[in-house]
Structure 1
């Protein structure tokens, strides 16, 4: 038997009284307190649980508050008019207060039969839990959670913190232990491997060897997870302010390949320039999150997949495909392959395609093309992307410097420095020149004026 499993199977409950911990109601949202007190006053147990308790204990303000209770989802719904029940795999109650949602979960049990109130009990397929609506005790609920640091409870009845599995010790040691047998828990839900990496990155904790040892064998199971779910997990990894640490955790533990196989292949092949570019993009995103500036996953996904799209575009160009068409085809192929692993929505893939296909246009500096590019709605994202590519070559670095200077110049001054296009075609406004009738006069303000 795995020693980790045997140590947890008979937990020693620790109750930490109010004067011996740092959780304060001042730092709990009013909505969460209202849910806790309403359940408590109705005669149910009501406890804050999970990440919120963990974060409050280490002095971090939580973003979300989850509640655990012995009330069933139907009983919770009767108490709150603003409640809706969701989920089949895990039936939950969501109590809605404007833009804030308090998730209320009934204590999970370890039995094999339902209580008659749900539409199912526990169903396990190939070791993976596909439905789990067995209610139980708080002791059982603690054992059903993922990591020890996520299995502590704040009891609104007496303001104590309850620790059944050693979470307080792990907070002190800054280490992550999985509850139960790690291999079994990862087979139940392979995404737990990503959560381990994300939580370690967020908290700056180590992953205990007992929890990380199965990664090498079981990482491939992530390929069987729903691509839409892996997209959600990717957002949590890269858009919460610790993208660089998360990225490094994924690489360290061999978890990047199931999510971004082409990226992992390029990096494993020794593409140090791409690695530097990706890490700088991650660091820039973290800085924007820290400054409370807007961020978009489209930019980071474009960075992650740049090595593949660049290689495919060049291969098509070498085969005689026109550059513009080559870049379009490469972008479509890369996105089609990637979305089989991580289902990136179209609203982001469109932005990614624009960022990529605009890159070769930065080398074109005729007057018409420069002003067209400056007016493109994706110019700023593509320009920022160009700056990230500075390590690729001296030419790319020079392009970045030129376009930086170009943006700082007045329009008329920039226009004077640029030569007109040597070819006819579309004007700067995108309208096509009209062919003059034989013997007729050319209208004033034709497309040459845009040059």
Structure 2
């Protein structure tokens, strides 16, 4: 495949000198600068490339810094003792400085002939690609024009071969080359378009969005482990709510989370509120530097289908515990065919779901047993998200919020004598928990047996 076929035009280089862009070395990690300078001093071309350049131009603060060079992976390894080579599909060098990893990639070529390495394509998808080339070829091999910008360490200029600088200024995502061809090469690019549009507050070019409905099913061919990583980038990067809405807007949610899309299609506004509030809370925790877990997020996304299936099994006469277990297992199994959620997370998800009915059991022993459960806090936070389901659910959440603030003895006294009653006594029990009950005086036995 030649440059013209890939990009419909020969790449035209535009050099933006240092005085005409905002990138400063002060905002580039020291580790990335060390890699760039060492490559340059060894006589190789060395460029900061991709998302880091894009984000620096937008006055952002990149977390990851990638380097592109004409040095082969083996040549990079010879320059850096702290280097390891990874990947079969794309051969890369990772240069490690403490907790930071600088990814160094050799310029990719576009043709089958010429260059070093090999390429393997199956049904239009690139399954292995280690053909080296020039910087011009590397530029048109990238996905979006805004990701094909190169910061040159030799003179601190930015090199633009495909119009990426204009797209940064216009805040638009345009693919390099024919969208159908590029998505067939790698269907995950569709998800990346939605994620970047949400993160950067960009719009997706009409031509880039047009094939989503037709080619969305190709996501089923992507490796589930890769889709798990992509879902973490989408929902745990601080822009989870925007990413979710963008997936829906683009029509891609049903290909990534089919159970979620089905449940929302039923028009359950309480479920939509739960999902959006859960994503909002996650975004806020990330902004505050607090920890987040994928398990809670996936439990939120899949709750509607689990709840509906569990209720359906109970209507058929199945025991409550078995109904919830069966529903959780079915939904998790289906989802893991698309997104490979690790077992350590699915186990936590299933516990969060299975604890929800237990919040409705407000008897003394059950309350304290639930509070002692290792997943109580996560399950309680999940209960609070369910408030829009009904007024009874809101009151139940309020009761548990208040109960946790009471001393153990006070709560125990308030709960003494509460009968097994499920959800109905939640309001009255909440009132009871606010102040201890007076104990009834026990009548002294006269030693005579009760009348029969």
Corresponding position of 1:426 = none
Q: In 1, are the aligned partners of 2:294 and 2:345 still within 8 Å (CA)?
A: yes
Matched, 1:224 2:246: no
More displaced stretch, 7-16 vs 102-111 = 7-16
Corresponding position of 2:184 = 187
Q: In 1, are the aligned partners of 2:6 and 2:140 still within 8 Å (CA)?
A: no
Corresponding position of 1:442 = none
CA distance in structure 1 between the aligned counterparts of 2:6 and 2:358, rounded to whole angstroms: 62
Corresponding position of 2:11 = 11
Corresponding position of 1:330 = 327
CA offset digits 1:343-371 (Å, max 9, x no partner): 10011001101100000000111111111
Corresponding position of 2:442 = none
Cα drift, residue 410 of structure 1? 1.1
Shift in CA distance, 6/101, structure 1 to aligned 2, threshold 3 Å? closer
The alignment partner of 2:48 has SS state of strand
Corresponding position of 1:374 = 371
Cα drift, residue 6 of structure 1? 8.2
Q: In 2, are the aligned partners of 1:109 and 1:144 still within 8 Å (CA)?
A: yes
Q: In 2, are the aligned partners of 1:267 and 1:275 still within 8 Å (CA)?
A: yes
Cα drift, residue 7 of structure 1? 6.5
Cα drift, residue 319 of structure 1? 1.4
Corresponding position of 1:97 = 97
Corresponding position of 1:122 = 119
Could you tell me which runs of 5 or more consecutive residues in structure 1 were left unpaired when the two chains were aligned. Answer: 424-451
Cα drift, residue 420 of structure 1? 4.6
Query: What does residue range 428-443 of structure 1 map to in structure 2 within 5 Å?
Result: none
CA distance in structure 2 between the aligned counterparts of 1:252 and 1:114, rounded to whole angstroms: 42
CA distance in structure 1 between the aligned counterparts of 2:180 and 2:274, rounded to whole angstroms: 35
Cα drift, residue 338 of structure 1? 1.1
CA distance in structure 2 between the aligned counterparts of 1:175 and 1:417, rounded to whole angstroms: 60
Cα drift, residue 421 of structure 1? 7.0
CA distance in structure 1 between the aligned counterparts of 2:134 and 2:181, rounded to whole angstroms: 22
Q: In 1, are the aligned partners of 2:149 and 2:158 still within 8 Å (CA)?
A: yes
Matched, 1:84 2:81: no
Q: In 2, are the aligned partners of 1:244 and 1:286 still within 8 Å (CA)?
A: yes
Could you tell me which runs of 5 or more consecutive residues in structure 2 were left unpaired when the two chains were aligned. Answer: 421-452
The alignment partner of 2:254 has SS state of coil
Cα drift, residue 41 of structure 1? 0.3
CA offset digits 1:97-119 (Å, max 9, x no partner): 11111000000111204645x4x
CA distance in structure 1 between the aligned counterparts of 2:196 and 2:128, rounded to whole angstroms: 25
CA offset digits 1:248-302 (Å, max 9, x no partner): 0100111011111111112122122111111111111111111111111111100
Corresponding position of 1:166 = 163
Corresponding position of 1:286 = 283
Matched, 1:308 2:305: yes
1:359 aligned to 330, 340, 356, which one? 356
Query: What does residue range 37-436 of structure 1 map to in structure 2 within 5 Å?
Result: 37-113=37-113, 115-116=115-116, 118=117, 121-420=118-417
Runs of 4+ more than 6 Å apart = 4-7
Q: In 2, are the aligned partners of 1:151 and 1:165 still within 8 Å (CA)?
A: yes
The alignment partner of 1:101 has SS state of strand
Q: In 2, are the aligned partners of 1:176 and 1:206 still within 8 Å (CA)?
A: yes
The alignment partner of 1:330 has SS state of helix
CA distance in structure 2 between the aligned counterparts of 1:222 and 1:5, rounded to whole angstroms: 25
Q: In 1, are the aligned partners of 2:15 and 2:158 still within 8 Å (CA)?
A: yes
CA distance in structure 2 between the aligned counterparts of 1:373 and 1:418, rounded to whole angstroms: 14
RMSD (Å), alpha carbons: 1.4
Shift in CA distance, 7/45, structure 1 to aligned 2, threshold 3 Å? closer
TM-score of the aligned structures, taking structure 2 as reference length: 0.90
Corresponding position of 1:438 = none
CA distance in structure 2 between the aligned counterparts of 1:6 and 1:420, rounded to whole angstroms: 76
CA distance in structure 1 between the aligned counterparts of 2:264 and 2:316, rounded to whole angstroms: 25
CA distance in structure 2 between the aligned counterparts of 1:420 and 1:260, rounded to whole angstroms: 45
The alignment partner of 1:62 has SS state of coil
CA distance in structure 2 between the aligned counterparts of 1:176 and 1:337, rounded to whole angstroms: 32
CA offset digits 1:300-346 (Å, max 9, x no partner): 10011111110111111111111112111211111111111111001
CA distance in structure 2 between the aligned counterparts of 1:132 and 1:262, rounded to whole angstroms: 34
Cα drift, residue 419 of structure 1? 2.4
Shift in CA distance, 112/7, structure 1 to aligned 2, threshold 3 Å? closer
Q: In 1, are the aligned partners of 2:109 and 2:115 still within 8 Å (CA)?
A: no
The alignment partner of 1:408 has SS state of coil
The alignment partner of 1:201 has SS state of helix
CA distance in structure 2 between the aligned counterparts of 1:219 and 1:228, rounded to whole angstroms: 18
CA distance in structure 1 between the aligned counterparts of 2:166 and 2:7, rounded to whole angstroms: 14
The alignment partner of 2:252 has SS state of coil
CA distance in structure 1 between the aligned counterparts of 2:406 and 2:114, rounded to whole angstroms: 70
Corresponding position of 2:441 = none
Q: In 1, are the aligned partners of 2:115 and 2:133 still within 8 Å (CA)?
A: no
